[in-house]
Homo-oligomer: A and B are copies of this chain.
Amino acid sequence: MNQVYDHAIEELKRQNIRLSTRRQKVLEYLCHNLVHPTVDRIYVDIKKELPNLSKTTIYNILDTFVDAGLVRIVNIEDNEVRYDIITEPHGHFKCVECGAISDFEIDIDSLALTGLSGCKITDQDVYFKGICPECLLNINNKD
């Protein structure tokens, strides 16, 4: 399918995590829908194809993937957890107008910081919020 998917499949194999039908569906879904979907979004969409799907299963699978390092939690909003199959370092930008969450490239090592000497760092998340160019246009056109 693509690099991200292939890498995930390899990792699952390496970590002896079975690729069940549900897990494969969720994996495919995440690879095809890079919009950082919520649990409910994933559940509702996959349930169309697999009618007897349980939401608990989605929770379980996502937990499994997160623990395996295949999926990253995007915690940009305090009332909903989102999931991202792209695990390489990058930033997340949420447009507060349209609600879309997009990725942006960052060179995290370029960030000048002090106060973490002696810390072992395992996770780095950069979340920005604001208004995307399209929504800015719409707002300005209302004049």
Q: A-side interface residues toward B, CB under 8 Å?
A: 73, 75-78, 81, 91, 93, 95-96, 102-108, 110-133, 136
Contact = CB atoms under 8 A, between A and B. Distances in A.
7 contacts: A75-B76, A104-B113, A104-B116, A106-B113, A107-B113, A122-B130, A124-B128
A125 B91 CA distance: 10
Contacts of A111: 106-108, 110-111, 126
A118 to B, nearest CB: 4
Main secondary structure of the interface of A (DSSP, over half): strand
A76 to B, nearest CB: 7
A124 to B, nearest CB: 5
A115 B104 contact: yes
Given A78-B73, A106-B113, A113-B104, A120 B126 contact: no
A112 B110 contact: yes
A16 to B, nearest CB: 25
A91 B113 contact: yes
A103 B106 CA distance: 21
A114 B105 contact: yes
Contact of A119 (B81, B108, B122, B132): B132
